[in-house]
Structure 1
Amino acid sequence: MTKLELFRLKSMWGNFNFDYACSLARGRSGGLVSMWDPNVFVKGDIWCGDNYVIVKGKWKNSTEDYYFVNIYGPQHQSDKANLWSFLRQFIQDHNGKVVLFGDLNEVRDDTERLGSIFSRSDAAIFNSFIQEAGLLDLPMGGKKFTWMNKAGTKLSKIDRFLISEDVLEAHSDLRVTILDKLWSDHNPVLLHCKRLDFGPTPFRIFHSWFDRSDFDAVVKNAWANLSN
């Protein structure tokens, strides 16, 4: 990567306190880059291909391996099928939590396309990959589609986050939000943690408590402390 390209990354990140992995542009494909704060995430191995950048690493002070899989899905069906096959095998061959994301250039059903042709066979292959790789498709908030053409006549949900089940077990408050457009014809998609506050925990009582000899004393003591 040239110094000019590094300065472009710096302009996006805000400073030079970042590390990165990239797959350089080929033809009409603009390439891929993944960036992270080395004070928060410590990289291990990196795998790069024409349509993916995979970064293995650990959160600082953690022992668990994460695989962040940045994807740019190809256009042709055969190339997509080959990519899904490679990623499925990669995930099955490596132990660790998986976060897969990017412009996958594919939808799961006909409700995720508007004004363009929906391929049932392509969607079936994509859905099989998600299931066989043990991934979860997190629901998105904010908007329904992530891409729109200049005329506004074609819309698709082709950008998403897919995670392994153990990621959700470790971070049960994960949310995905589609943000407003900035520079691209794609909307940015944000994966973040957001705790939902449903108010105070409801009061519960079990009938078996009444059989305890110290029940009255516990209630009186709790009430007295609450009053104070």
Structure 2
Amino acid sequence: MWDRMVVEKMEEYIGEYTVACSFQNVEDNFLWAFAGIYRPTSDSSRNSLWEEVAGLHSWWELPWYIDGDFNVVRFPSERLGDSRLRPAMSNFSDCIFDLGLVDLPLMGGAFTWSNNQPWSKLDRFLVSPEWESHYSEVCQKRLPRLSFDHFPILL
């Protein structure tokens, strides 16, 4: 799944909503963590997700990035035709703020999902400032959608 000549996996964690690993770069010994998000769909599940992510953050205390289909937008502008700020949006933004994460700008389009319903930005990469500093050229880019309802995103 990763090139062992580039990174060495140190630890792993499989939670209810996340799969996470800590890594060490072979070239410069930089230690960092990654978490991939499963798609919780209810507000109560999302609150459990935010708690799980906060626990991972405190467990490793490393520069890190998180990606996945969060199945929630942060702002009404991230859902075409929606102008209401909902509690789930505020909770998502609060989690990002509380963990000190950076929501990278999305290049190549504003939305990542549509299934014959309003276009939304459900998928994203979130990074810690330390991770972003180490990879100063980092950006996320929406790629062309082939056949699924989600656009792939490249970090």
| TM-score, normalising length: structure 2 | 0.92
1:208 equivalent in structure 2: none
SS of equivalent to 2:139: strand
Higher relative contact order (CA 8 A, sep 6+): 2
Distance across 2 between alignment mates of 1:60 and 1:174? 19
Is 1:88 aligned to 2:54, yes or no? Answer: yes
1:65 equivalent in structure 2: 31
1:213 equivalent in structure 2: none
2:4 equivalent in structure 1: 38
Deviations 1:203-224 (CA, angstroms, capped at 9, x unpaired): xxxxxxxxxxxxxxxxxxxxxx
Gaps in structure 2 of 5+ consecutive residues: none
Native 8 Å contact 2:102 2:126 kept in 1 = yes
2:43 equivalent in structure 1: 77
Deviations 1:63-107 (CA, angstroms, capped at 9, x unpaired): 221111111230010110111012113202322111100111111
User: How much does 1:147 deviate?
Assistant: 0.4
Superposition pairs of residues 189-208 of structure 1, within 5 angstroms = 189-191=153-155
Query: 1:116 and 1:73, CA in 2 relative to 1: closer, same or farther beyond 3 A?
Result: farther
SS of equivalent to 1:50: coil
| TM-score, normalising length: structure 1 | 0.64
Which has more radius of gyration? 1
Gaps in structure 1 of 5+ consecutive residues: 1-34, 192-228
Distance across 2 between alignment mates of 1:103 and 1:118? 21
Is 1:142 aligned to 2:103, yes or no? Answer: no
User: How much does 1:184 deviate?
Assistant: 2.1
The answer to which structure has the higher helix fraction is 1
Selected match of 1:99 from 65, 74, 81 = 65
Aligned length: 155
2:92 equivalent in structure 1: 126
Distance across 2 between alignment mates of 1:44 and 1:183? 35
Give % identity: 33
User: How much does 1:128 deviate?
Assistant: 0.6
Deviations 1:125-146 (CA, angstroms, capped at 9, x unpaired): 1111001111000001101100
User: How much does 1:167 deviate?
Assistant: 1.1
